[in-house]
Amino acid sequence: MLFCIGRCIHQLATLKEVAKLAKVDSSVVSRVVNNDPALNIKPETRKRILDAVEELKYRPNMSARNLKKGQSKMLGMIIPDFSNPVYSLIIHGAEDQAAQEGFNLLVYSLKQKGLEKSYSPLLDGQIEGLLIANSEIDNKEILELKKTKKPFMLVNRTVAGVDNYVVANDLLGAKLATKHLIKQGHHRIAHISGPLFTATGLSRFQGYREGLQEDNIDYIPVYVQESKYTVENGYESMEILLDLPDPPTAVFASNIMICLGAMKAIQDRGLTIPKDMSIIGVHDVFFTSTLQPPLTTVKMPLYEMGREAVKKLIAIIQGKEGETGQGVTIDGASLIVRSSTSPPPSK
Amino acid sequence: MLFCIGRCIHQLATLKEVAKLAKVDSSVVSRVVNNDPALNIKPETRKRILDAVEELKYRPNMSARNLKKGQSKMLGMIIPDFSNPVYSLIIHGAEDQAAQEGFNLLVYSLKQKGLEKSYSPLLDGQIEGLLIANSEIDNKEILELKKTKKPFMLVNRTVAGVDNYVVANDLLGAKLATKHLIKQGHHRIAHISGPLFTATGLSRFQGYREGLQEDNIDYIPVYVQESKYTVENGYESMEILLDLPDPPTAVFASNIMICLGAMKAIQDRGLTIPKDMSIIGVHDVFFTSTLQPPLTTVKMPLYEMGREAVKKLIAIIQGKEGETGQGVTIDGASLIVRSSTSPPPSK
DNA sequence: CTGTTAGCGCTTTCAT
DNA sequence: ATGAAAGCGCTAACAG
């Protein structure tokens, strides 16, 4: 049963074999392979070594290297769900940056919340740092993690007292959305917010409020519905808004999942978007332009967020930041106007 | 710059330390930790060891173990794109199965096609096996890979001459879709196929043909449009079908991306689904029920495919299959009827 | 039932 | 400018 393992992984040339072929010591090969700057090698010898490396198709054994150096070159990332397109983009950015810096990214989806165990087996040696892009993980657990001094990074979320985080400018994004609606002539603008214990939910709510404020539009509390970031919850929240005696003429959804649900609720009532109701959502993902009608969105720099988070995490791992990074806000929220928003029906 | 690495990864107890605390040799600890079945240990000693493990929070160093055993416990997976929801589901299944068997899954998205280099650095030691869920990779490259004898597995695709693959019953799924349309009373049924050099595209085309055949519906070649698995191509193909002098009354889209594009093309013409045109697509992903109208789909066992692929790959790695697996077809295609299909407009 | 030992492949200090 | 040697933490064959 195990007889194959040796064959499968090894059979690759080792340093020693390369050394023998090049007639030098393996330590020299190691230095050449690693481009040791403090190495003064005869060009001829170097060539001989490089040729041997080429001939034997030598590739360093990572386990050995990692063992020796006490590293693993692996990063972990926790997301709530692989099918969530918001996270797809973050992962993509994280992946690219990790690869660029020679790290591997292990992505775990955390279905069951409250799984505090999820990171401890991870951090206890396997991986060098952890990206947490998951609003369902309790603040408490993250504070606990912080005590361990292990490198980690919050992505698209924050926790009071933790300043290793990368977020987007949610406030700006939300304000952009709200002001777009106002500019279209809406006054009765609802907001289906995300959970208001999350940074994204809160910032977008704040952006909505500030947007209204700056244009002197009355804030009507009942127009704000707090919702989880799910299609189902978005649907329910929209229904509540539609049942209001004086329903809004436009709605700003805090997230694409919510937005999807809200659109459906509107259309299930036989209402037409944008004639009867304008709608705008946060996150421009691959299918927003194909919805009916094509959705006006706020595009957040999700890919960049993933990249930046990995960059900072690696910096922390390598001690470049005194182990404690600074919170980073990635700008670049932009409005993408399509057909789900229009002026309100004239009275 | 590197001073932290030691602290970050180690500072974990080693076998030796546990051994010292438990007053035994480290090899005994190793055996206990690994549940060596051929170990006849005094219950008391075992307890002493387990207590020490607990106290020092010992966790095996994977690099050391892997180095010793000549393994890496890592699997690679190549997908075309993280945002494609079809792959999200496959990844999810693969991830679960890998975790269950103690393997880590590294997922790479391969944007630039033709990157034959992509697997060679991977397979040359870092990972023990590779899942290829990517129809853009040339058959040639895969045949090349096969020669290396490295464990790999094709997921949701095939290559002539390679029998390590896991696919779904695409033929059945397509037949289900086609027959559903026929049962609704359609005779002029179009098919926007996937690329006909891919197994999925071909099988679904075949299912469509067989479905028509079994119910004695004439096959009209011009009703078949070959398309890439993209929204844009689906859109274009649908436009061609709509421009036909005698356009179809129903269309079966080979894939969800195509379907999305086709729906948009239909609606952009001012036509109503399903009144003017019925549409059904392969792949039931998270947003299909929220489309307008909710989409009738064929649900393929994508999650299971991911699981099964990893299971077989690991079996191959461990030499359980004489290194060469058998092609596996996962059944379980099922029709999910929603509102995008209805009887054709009566003449 | 438990300990001794060798060595996986690599890096790195120290010696030449 | 290159080599020798030690050792990272673990496992497994062999001894006792």
Task: Report the CATH fold assignment for B170-301.
Answer: Rossmann fold (3.40.50)
Q: How far apart are CA A20 and CA A11, in angstroms?
A: 16
Could you report the per-residue pLDDT of B118-158, keeping only the tens digit for each? Answer: 665 566 678 999 999 987 777 888 888 888 888 899 999 99
Which residues in chain B have Cβ-Cβ distances shorter than 8 Å to A267?
292
Q: How far apart are CA A108 and CA A127, in angstroms?
A: 12
Q: So what's the pLDDT on residue B189? A: 98
Protein side of the strand D interface (CB < 7 A) = A 23-28, 39-42, 45, 64, 67-68, 70; B 10, 14-16, 26-27, 30-31, 33-34, 58, 60-61, 64-65, 67-69
What three-state secondary structure class fits B175? helix
Q: Find the length of chain B.
A: 347
For B25-40, what is the mean pLDDT? Answer: 87
Q: Which of A92, A58, A62, A65 is nearest to A77 (CA)?
A: A92
Structure tokens belonging to residue B347: 């003449």
Q: Name the closest residue on chain B to residue A103, using Cα atoms.
A: B106
Q: Do domains A72-166+302-329 and A170-301 have the same CATH topology?
A: yes
Question: In sequence order, which ranges of A76-169 are alpha helices (DSSP H)?
Answer: 85-100, 120-121, 139-147
How close B215 comes to chain A (CA, Å)?
Answer: 34
Instruction: Specify whether the CB–CB gap between B312 and B286 falls below 8 A.
Output: no
Query: Which own/partner contact pairs does A112-120 have at CB distance under 8 Å and 24+ positions apart?
Result: A113/A137, A114/A138, A116/A141, A116/A144, A118/A78, A119/A76, A119/A78, A119/A145, A119/A152
Q: How far is CA A16 from the centre of its chain?
A: 42
Alpha-carbon distances of B208 from A269, B174, B211, B212, B224, rounded to whole Å? 36, 5, 5, 6, 10
Q: Name the closest residue on chain B to residue A315, using Cα atoms.
A: B1
Could you report the per-residue pLDDT of B76-100, keeping only the tens digit for each? Answer: 999 988 888 999 999 999 999 998 9
- How much is the CA Rg of chain A, to the nearest whole Å? 26
Residue B152 neighbours by CB distance under 10 Å? 28
Q: Which of B199, B204, B229 is nearest to B328 (CA)?
A: B199
How close B169 comes to chain A (CA, Å)?
Answer: 22
What three-state secondary structure class fits B243? coil
How close A213 comes to chain B (CA, Å)?
Answer: 33
The ranges assigned to domains in chain A are 9-60, 72-166+302-329, 170-301
Q: How far apart are CA B341 and CA A199, in angstroms?
A: 42
Q: How confident is the model at residue A3 (pLDDT cuts 50, 70, 90)?
A: very low
Interchain proximity A92–B109, CB inside 8 Å: yes
Q: Which of A156, A159, A133 is nearest to A146 (CA)?
A: A159
Interchain proximity A61–B74, CB inside 8 Å: no
Exposure b/e, B254-281, CB count within 10 A at least 16 = b: bbbbbbbbbbbbbbeeeeebbebbbbbb
What three-state secondary structure class fits A251? strand
Could you report the per-residue pLDDT of A263-284, keeping only the tens digit for each? Answer: 999 999 999 999 999 999 999 9
Kindly state the greatest CA–CA separation across chain A. Answer: 90
Q: Name the closest residue on chain B to residue A286, using Cα atoms.
A: B83
- Which CATH architecture best describes the domain B72-166+302-329? 3-Layer(aba) Sandwich (3.40)
Q: Please give the residue that has the higher pLDDT: either B2 or A87.
A: A87
Q: How far apart are CA B86 and CA B80, in angstroms?
A: 11
For A4-18, what is the mean pLDDT? Answer: 62
Alpha-carbon distances of A86 from A133, A153, A286, B224, rounded to whole Å? 10, 18, 10, 34
CA of A40 to C1' of D2 (A): 10
Q: How confident is the model at residue B3 (pLDDT cuts 50, 70, 90)?
A: very low
Structure tokens belonging to residue A46: 């170097």
Q: What whole-number percentage of chain B has pLDDT above 90?
A: 63
Q: Within 13 Å, how many C-alpha atoms sit on residue B83's CB side?
A: 17
- Mean pLDDT for chain B overall: 89
Could you report the per-residue pLDDT of A161-206, keeping only the tens digit for each? Answer: 999 999 999 999 999 999 999 999 999 999 999 999 999 999 999 9
Q: So what's the pLDDT on residue B300? A: 97
Does the pTM of the predicted model rise above 0.85?
Answer: yes
Q: How far apart are CA B50 and CA B31, in angstroms?
A: 11
Task: Report the CATH fold assignment for A9-60.
Answer: 434 Repressor (Amino-terminal Domain) (1.10.260)
Torsion (CA) B126, B128, B133, B134 in degrees, nearest 10 = 40
Q: Is the pLDDT of residue A4 over 50?
A: no
